[in-house]
Structure 1
Amino acid sequence: MFSIKYLGIFLLIFLQTSEGIQRCDSLILSGVDAMLAKDHARSLELLTEARTMAVNNNWNSQLFLATNNIGANYYSMLDYGEALDYYLEAYTIALKELDVSHEMTVLNNIAILYSKERNFEKAEEYFLKAYDLAKENSLTDKKAIYAVNLGLVFNEKGDYLKANSYLNEALSLSGELPQVIMQAKVALADNYEKRGMHAEAKSLAESLLTQIDDSKYLEERLSLLLNLSAIYRKQGDFEAAISYAQSALSAELSWEQKIVLYERLANLFETTKDYENAIKAKDSVIYAKEQFYELKNGRLFESNKVKFEVQNYQNQLRQNQMELEEERKKVYTISGIALLIIVLIAWSLRNLYIKNKQRKILHRRSEEIMALELEKEKHENLILDKQLKENEALALLEKERFKNEIEQRNRKLTSKALYLAERNELIKIILDDLVKFQNNQTAQSLSVPIKKLKELLKTDVEWEKFIAHFEEVNQGVLSALKERHPDLNANDIRFISYVFMNLTNKEIASMLNITLEACRKRKERIAKKMDLEDSASLYHYLFTA
């Protein structure tokens, strides 16, 4: 018989500092207490709330405990399919996130569930996985428990040698685990009975019955009484067999256990041809089965009812969670907006402070720059004034130099012009003398020298040279004068050139081979052409123009 004592409620709760985890652990503990008190609806409600908290906060240990114990609730309500789903989910959590102790616990639970459904192949598979993990991790106590369970499975499968091996191993490992020792010895007695070792089985079973406390080892006592009943039946002592079977009825049994006992009694009574008691026993079997199925259906109804309530509770939790999330979003939104406003205000104040500070700095720098610029401007003005004065002085010097140079060149021109005038006058005198002398001599002998002297009196070429040299010295004077007074002729320009050179009327008359009076009148006429009031102002006009 597989004991609920090793179903693996697994109440290993670690000390946690977090208030949330402590709350979750408290819910799990309360849920387990409600399950042991058969208040499965309350238990599932508490465990579902704990499971939701564990999922939301990623608390793997609490998630495993809540899921595993939800499966235990469904196991107690005989809803093995639902129980298996939760056990497998707990097994997945243990594999991915937790240590081997969690994995072994849920493996043992799954194996017990398969044993209840008499699927001993699957039960062996999961018991063996738990046994191997305990062996690999040197967990002696756990190994002893799983060895007992494997012995029970192999007894049911009829592999009595393997069962005997595992049960003896459990006895050697159990140490100070009296409950494990008792279960191993009871299973060993069953093994002896099934193997036909009636003497060993009878001796061990009778010895164990004297050691059993009825309140603590109900299942073990029932197993021993059935074994003794089976031994005496096989030995032909039907009275003893019936006595041991009836003794088992005195204990508080489940309807499932009562079915086994009443079927045993019915078989014994029928063998002894006590048909009246056989019929009563069969009636009791039928009644026990009815009660069992009624209980099972009631448990299934209760299970479905609890599922419905749990589903409603989960929906309520989800609704509460959604409302909480909405409230949290609102709080976060308001907090975010408030924080944003504070940040914006702080940022604005900071910007204002920085701008004012920068404005002050810029103002101070502007004043400094303006002061520097004023100082620079003053300095530049001083330099400019100095440069202007220097340039004016240089211009005056240059003008004076240019004026002196022009005067010097004009003096040269005047000297040359006077030289030419005196030369021409001398040549003229010589010509006059030669002409007089020619009248007294032959014309043939003097005609050649006279001709050459007359050619010397031609001044056109000399005048052209003079004008070119005058233009070079006094650049643009005559051109500007012609543009301003286009009615001036060549003789007027020639006369004006001599005036510009500051020659006297006498010197000009000599240059032009005219009388002094003719020179004066020509000067007046030219002044009039140039719209001058007085011929005396002609030189000043020419120089300033």
Structure 2
Amino acid sequence: MKSFKLLFLIIFTFGLWVSEATCQEKSMIPDTLLRDIHSGIDTVVIKAVINLSSSRFSELPATSRRIAIMALMLSEKADWYKGRQRALQYIGLSWQKEYENDSAEFYYLMAAKEAIGEKDYQNAGRCYGSVGLLALNTAKYDKSEEYFNLAYSSFLKCNDSLGMGMCMLNGSQNFSSRGNVAMSLRYNYKALSIGLALKNDILINGALNNIGVALLDNEDWESAQKAMLLVYKMGIRSGDKKAQAHAMNNLGIITQNMGDTTASLNYYKSFLALASDMKDKKEISLAYNNLGSLYYEQNDLTKAEDYFTKAFLLVKEIDNLSSMSHYTRNLSDVYLKKSDIQKGIDYAFTAYQWADSCESLKEKVQALKNLSDGYERLNNSHQSLLYLKDYLTYNDSLKNSENTSSLQDLKIKFETEQKEQTIKLLEKEMEIKESRLIFIIIFAILVVFVFIIIIRLKNLKVKASQSEKALAEAHLKNAQFETDSLKKELEFKNKELSLAAINLVQKHEFIESISLQLQDSVKQNNDDQKTKIQKQLSFSQNLEKERKEFQHMVDLHRNHFS
């Protein structure tokens, strides 16, 4: 199904590739990459081809396009969505770089369809945003708004805050171009809020710049000047030359309206230098036009004509009909002021034709006014009245259009508020879900914590029980040891008592023996017997002394003997 879907696209792009190859520079694809392509297709090879296209599109858009077409065909053969989508985007970018807006839009929308088919809402949003910017740059405001809304919806689906912020920023420019300052400010403040939340300098600088422009449109010069100076400082800090350039341009407009022509001239020249450094033809042409307007106010018509002409030639290169009409009408103003009436009329008529081609009612009205004034100065009252009639008719249409636009803006405001309410509800639901999730996580942590405490208390209780048991066992062992010691002591005492008793008996027997011997010796008066008794007494005393010494040794070493 996908093959049939892209069949026409591949045939068409391949034809473009072949036709361009005959009149443009070579694609400069490295030989090694070509060998990889011929040997087999895989995503690594396709990525390499796409990266090569990316590196070429700024300086060599046609070369970049041919390489991207090759990547598209390889991706189709490999049935790789991401490769197809990126290749289509780079083809669109290359056409945009050459100011072929219709071709760029075609490929961006093809890339968006691919992305939507794969539910890649982020890339779809980027592609829709690119189409919206193309429409905005060509003053197709309704179309621009439609695609910015599609981009915003896509970013909302994938919750891409940066993408939504960029849509708000671009949408504010749309409202500013329509003259709806209130809605422009509203969108810018939302973009600024998102930028501050994301700490994104591009969003912050862009929103502050647009807020300054809105204040400028309200002729609040001092507030606008403060905003633009802040944008410039932030642009320098972040290295954003585009932000610096826009700040310089707007500061030039502000100081010009405040009557400080010297400061205005310096700001415009700084803007021109930055735009030239960026090689942005549209911005350079705007700088030339603003310098021309400044010199026109000072009646330096030669310089004014020179700068208006330079501005016109640049926008002609990028085929921006709205700007071409505006700058041509400025040249008409110069020639009418120089009293070169016919040339002024010719330029006014050309401006009218381009305004009609791009359906710019505002430019058409201004061109008709110049035509009416020019013919009146040529004393051609009939032609002057015809153009005056058309001028009044279109001017009424412009006012009605502005009224209709206001009603449309009110409708948009209502729809925007509804979207905001939806977003707030979604955010509230997300907050509730997050709160529930946080509660569940905290509850789970508490449960785990309590469980750990219970386990630790249980372990401590077991350890305490084990300690008590060990202590009881130690006390029991100690008591048993003391009992055993007392038993041994008792046994030892019993032995001592037994020995003492035996000793007493022996002493008693000895005393009785001595007593009998003494009685006999007294009776017989026998000296030998007395000597013998004395020896026995001496021996008995020595024996008693030795027994006491032995007993003392036993007492000292009782444990050993027990």
Return the TM-score normalized by structure 2: 0.51
1:260 aligns with 2:361: no
The residue that corresponds to 2:22 in the other structure is: none
SS at match of 1:366: helix
CA contact (8 A) 2:165 2:191 kept: yes
Aligned to 1:196: 299
What fraction of aligned residue pairs are identical, expressed as a percent? 18
Distance, in Å, in 2 between the alignment partners of 1:151 and 1:123 is 11
1:242 aligns with one of 345, 367, 388:
345
Find the aligned partners of 1:95 and 1:332 in 2 and give their Cα distance: 26
Asked if the contact 2:126–2:151 (Cα under 8 Å) also holds between the matched residues in 1, the reply is: no
Residue equivalent to 1:543: none
Distance change >3 Å, CA 45–CA 97, structure 1 → 2: closer
How far does the alpha carbon of each residue in 1:376-423 deviate from its partner, in whole angstroms, 9 at most, with x for none? 2343466579889999x99xxxxxxxxxxxxxxxxxxxxxxxxxxxxx
Which amino acid in structure 2 is aligned with residue 38 of structure 1? E
**Alpha carbons of structure 1 residues 137 and 118: separation in structure 2 relative to 1, 3 Å:** same
Distance 1:49 1:158, change over 3 A: farther
Q: Which has the greater radius of gyration?
A: 1
Q: Give distance in 2, aligned partners of 1:141 and 1:382.
A: 108
1:83 paired residue among 184, 188, 192: 184
Q: Distance in 2 between matches of 1:89 and 1:334?
A: 33
For the Cα contact (< 8 Å) 2:361–2:394, is it kept in 1? yes
* Aligned: 1:316 with 2:422: yes
Change in 2 beyond 3 A, CA 1:312/1:258: same
Look up the match of 1:105. Answer: 206
User: CA offset at residue 245 of structure 1?
Assistant: 0.7
**How much has 1:352 moved relative to structure 2?**
4.6
Q: Which one of 145, 152, 155 corresponds to residue 38 of structure 1?
A: 145
| Aligned-partner SS, 2:316 | coil
> CA distance change for structure 1 residues 45 and 212 in 2, over 3 Å: closer, same or farther?
closer
Q: Deviations over 1:471-491 (max 9, x none)?
A: xxxxxxxxxxxxxxxxxxxxx
The CA distance in 1 between the partners of 2:329 and 2:415, in whole Å, is 41
- Letter matched to residue 371 of structure 1: K
Instruction: Provide the C-alpha distance between the structure 1 equivalents of 2:427 and 2:242, rounded to a whole number of angstroms.
Output: 43
Q: Which range is displaced more, 89-98 or 201-210?
A: 89-98
Number of the residue aligned with 2:327? 224
> Structure 2 matches for 1:293-332, cutoff 5 A?
293-331=399-437
Q: Deviations over 1:442-491 (max 9, x none)?
A: xxxxxxxxxxxxxxxxxxxxxxxxxxxxxxxxxxxxxxxxxxxxxxxxxx
Judged with a 3 Å threshold, the aligned counterparts in structure 2 of structure 1 residues 315 and 33 are, in CA distance, closer, same or farther, namely: same
After superposition, the C-alpha distances for 1:143-183 in whole angstroms (9 at most, x for unaligned) are 55544444444555555444444434444553444434332
Q: What's the CA shift for 1:242? A: 1.8
Q: Residue 372 of structure 1 aligns to which amino acid in structure 2?
A: N
Alignment coverage as a number of residue pairs: 366
Residue segments in structure 1 that go unaligned for 5+ positions in a row? 6-22, 55-60, 395-545
Distance (whole Å) between structure 2 residues aligned to residue 289 and residue 70 of structure 1: 26
Q: Aligned in 2, Cα 1:267/1:25: closer, same or farther, shift over 3 Å?
A: same
Per mean C-alpha deviation after superposition, the further-off stretch among 27-36 and 320-329 is 27-36
Letter in 2 for 1:257: E
Residue 511 of structure 2 is matched in structure 1 by: none
Residues 192 and 200, structure 1, Cα contact 8 Å, conserved in 2: yes
Deviates more, 1:97-106 or 1:122-131: 97-106
CA distance in 1, matches of 2:493, 2:198: 94
Match of 1:183 among 281, 286, 290: 286
Higher RCO (CA-CA < 8 Å; seq separation 6+): 1
* Secondary structure class of the residue paired with 1:38: helix
TM-score if structure 1 supplies the norm length?
0.53
**Structure 2: stretches of 5+ with no match in the other structure:** 1-98, 100-119, 134-143, 501-562
Deviation at 1:248, TM superposition (A): 0.4
* Alignment match, 1:281: 387
Partners of 2:253 and 2:264 within 8 A in 1: yes
Q: 1:222-272 deviations in whole A, cap 9, x for unaligned?
A: 343223322332343433322211110111242222232223233334444
Deviation, 1:109, is 1.8
Offset of residue 371 of structure 1: 2.6
Cross-structure match for 2:20: none
- Counterpart residue identity of residue 390, structure 2: S
Distance change >3 Å, CA 158–CA 348, structure 1 → 2: closer
Amino acid at match of 2:291: L
Compare 169-178 and 242-251 and name the one that shifted more: 169-178
Q: Is the 8 A contact 1:74 1:80 kept in 2?
A: yes
Shift of 1:213: 1.7
After the TM superposition, which residues 479-498 of structure 1 pair with which residues of structure 2 at under 5 Å, given as runs?
none
1:8-407 aligned within 5 A: 29=126, 32-33=129-130, 35-36=132-133, 37-39=144-146, 40-45=148-153, 65=166, 68-69=169-170, 71-72=172-173, 74-75=175-176, 78-88=179-189, 98=199, 104-120=205-221, 122-131=223-232, 143-155=244-256, 159-172=260-273, 174-175=276-277, 176-203=279-306, 205-206=308-309, 209-210=312-313, 212-213=315-316, 215-251=318-354, 252-331=358-437, 333=439, 344=450, 348=454, 351-352=457-458, 355-356=461-462, 358-380=464-486
